[in-house]
Chain A
């Protein structure tokens, strides 16, 4: 993934001598909405297993996801836009995961946190789903068992890049 930064061009006001530098900006609608959305991620933590220990560490003082605008977990799927699947998803859990995902409003993103959510990890047996992408579309995968907090933060930043590059439809077909 390219590390290219999206910069919103800000045009200074025309008349010299005036110090109001921010009278108007010109940008594309998608870039503006993407820029706004990427810093206001409301995650829904779908926490199941050992990865939760790292999730606790990431979201509290030492690593602090607040710096990325993604600190405030929303415990209602209807109010959140990022589904963080933290830990193993078993076949028993799969219907619940799907239900939660369907309740989320568009636009929504899904993060697979840890190898269990990514591919089943080292539980390759009758009970575990070998990767949640068999059930939902996933936007960002974070490998590791459990991933170190730095990796999670990297994952969040990659997701932000992805959001900034997306098309943001405001009025959808079935609106």
Chain B
């Protein structure tokens, strides 16, 4: 088994052909790519570099910045025992990235979660029904502008209790 530094060098040289910066941070290789390059990079990672486990996708909301959302993927290689993080920025007006469902089965559920929590669209994932939230929930709760305590009950409260009243 090669040391992780060598593995990172090799991956970095392959990933940086497609315009983007690549750096190592806290033991993880981080690649900043354009939204269009994510699917190709993921395919490269899976097919040629041995990153066979797709760990996670999530987003970070930076209100006031442009582009507003940062979408973050993590991959793990069972042969090299290292992780890679792929990041991209998408604007609020068109928060859309390619879906990784053609490559990894696990992408389906995780993209559904990211979609409902942040409103990120995943092109190519046909099934973006609510997963952790429910039908009829309006808004994206993990966006910074969603108030923490705004409830959307499905069942009307009994008389004497008011929405938003605590304690």
- CB contacts under 8 Å to A, within B125-167, are 133-134, 141, 146-155, 157-158, 161, 166-167
Q: Decide if A98 is an interface residue (CB 8 Å cutoff).
A: yes
A92→B149 contact, CB < 8 A? no
Residues in A with CB closer than 8 Å to B157 are 134-135
Cβ of A34 to closest chain B Cβ, rounded Å: 26
Main secondary structure of the interface of B (DSSP, over half): loop
Contact A124/B155 with A91-B134, A92-B133 known, Cβ cut-off 8 Å: no
B158→A91 contact, CB < 8 A? no
Tell me the bound Cα distance from A28 to B33 in angstroms.
80
Residues in A with CB closer than 8 Å to B153 are 91, 94, 129
- For the A-B complex, the count of residue pairs with Cβ-Cβ distances under 8 Å equals 44
Interface residue tally for chain A (C-beta within 8 Å) = 18
Contact A126/B141 with A91-B134, A92-B133, A134-B161 known, Cβ cut-off 8 Å: yes
Residues in B with CB closer than 8 Å to A129 are 153
A130→B155 contact, CB < 8 A? no
Cβ of B91 to closest chain A Cβ, rounded Å: 25
- CB contacts under 8 Å to B, within A101-138, are 119-120, 124-127, 129-130, 133-137
Cβ of A147 to closest chain B Cβ, rounded Å: 20
B155→A126 contact, CB < 8 A? no
Q: Decide if A12 is an interface residue (CB 8 Å cutoff).
A: no
A78-92 interface code vs B (CB 8 A; 1 in, 0 out):
000000000000011
B134→A125 contact, CB < 8 A? no
Name B151's closest neighbour in chain A (CB-CB): A126
Cβ of A107 to closest chain B Cβ, rounded Å: 19
B158→A125 contact, CB < 8 A? no
Name A99's closest neighbour in chain B (CB-CB): B155
Tell me the bound Cα distance from A94 to B153 in angstroms.
8
Contact A92/B134 with A98-B155, A125-B149, A135-B157 known, Cβ cut-off 8 Å: yes
Contact partner of B158 among A95, A127, A130, A135, CB < 8 A? A135
A-B contact pairs, 5 of them (CB 8 A): A91-B134, A95-B154, A126-B141, A134-B161, A135-B155
